[in-house]
Amino acid sequence: MKQRNLLQGRAAAVTGMVLLLLILLVAVFAPALAPYDPWAMGTPYLPPSSEHLLGTNDIGQDILSELIYGTRVSMFIGVCAALITTIIGTAVGVLAGYFGGIVDHILMAVTNVVIVVPSLPLTVVLVAYLQAGLWNIIIALCVTAWAGTARLIRAQVMQLRQQPFVQLERTLGMGNGYIMLVHILPNVSGIILTRGALSVASAMLSEASLSFLGLGALGQKSWGAILNNAFFRNGVVNNCWWWYYPPILCICVCVVAFMLIGSWDDRRSRGQNLLAM
């Protein structure tokens, strides 16, 4: 039974990775794949046809091309935000869990505050204050997102710290930095990878929400931005389904891909289950 769950987990993860690979290929080869320049204007409100597979928007830009180029923006923001989130979360979690005591108290106090702050409103406020550049959006997305990862990692590290092999390292006279890097980190890599993948998913969703609200990166055609256009530039009123359904679908596929990868129960995280026993 357990074996079967495991295989299913692996199948899901492989599916996720294949999806991700496809998405990445689209992002990398966007110029070759896109039939038109996404900024070039033409006849507005064209429904899908053989010429414009997904029609055009209110100023005649080809929606398929916009989507293909949008893959780059959305993925870049999602992956960068997740990377920063995961690095901060891991650092905070490992330090708090390993040292305990006063270090833990301080770091966890900060983490708990960050966790209770409602993240989307805060992000909205931040973006409104910062200029709406690409990196400012990424920073705003990271401000609260790391806390969950930090808590999970801290809990695991607190268990690991009690493990005989960590105690042994101390009696071997290994420094704290060395123990954390060589012995603790590999043992939480399962969580890091899983949380990292899920962070990409949630960062992409948040980015889409921000862009939809018109707070996205200026001049960047992310999927959320296309959606925003469709909403506020008469796409919905004119019933241009080809304008607003495709970006929603793209976001969904991407999020699902990362969530499937995040469900991966690899050898390392199983090692942790062994530890927990």
Residue ranges binding another protein (CB under 8 A): 100-101, 163-165, 167-175, 178, 182-183, 186-187, 268, 271, 274-275
- For residue 39, the surrounding DSSP H or E stretch is none
- Residue 23's H or E segment, with its range, is helix 2-28
Pick the closer one to another protein by CB: 1 or 277: 277
Closer CB to another protein, 118 or 173, in the complex: 173
DSSP 131: -
Query: Least CB distance from residue 245 to another protein, whole Å?
Result: 45
Residue type, 22: L
Residue 16 Cβ vs another protein, minimum distance, rounded to whole Å: 24
Half-sphere exposure of 140 (CA within 13 A, CB side): 28
Cα–Cα distance for residue pair 106/209, rounded to 1 Å: 32
The span from the CA of 5 to the CA of 43, in Å, is: 52
The two tokens of residue 94 are 């490992």
Q: Closer to another protein by CB, 10 or 183: give it.
A: 183
Listed in sequence order, the DSSP H helices in 29-133 are: 30-33, 63-99, 101-116, 119-129
Per-position DSSP letters for 110-135, written without gaps between them: HHHHHHHS-HHHHHHHHHHHS---HH
Measured from the CB atom, is 35 or 186 closer to another protein? 186
> Quick one: angle between helices 134-161 and 63-99, nearest 10?
30
Tokens 């550049």 correspond to: 133
Unique residue bearing structure tokens 């966790």: 115
Q: Which residues pair with 56 in a beta bridge?
A: 62
Mapped onto helix, strand or coil, the DSSP state of residue 188 is helix
Euclidean distance between CA atoms 79 and 198, whole angstroms:
10
* Shortest distance, position 105 Cβ to another protein, whole Å: 14
Q: How far is the CB of 174 from another protein (least distance, A)?
A: 6
Report in angstroms how near the CB of residue 166 gets to another protein at its nearest: 8
Of the pair 121, 164, the CB lying nearest another protein is at: 164
Nearest distance from C-beta of residue 168 to another protein, angstroms: 5
Nearest distance, CB of residue 12 and another protein, angstroms: 24
Specify the residue, 83 or 275, whose C-beta has the smaller distance to another protein. 275
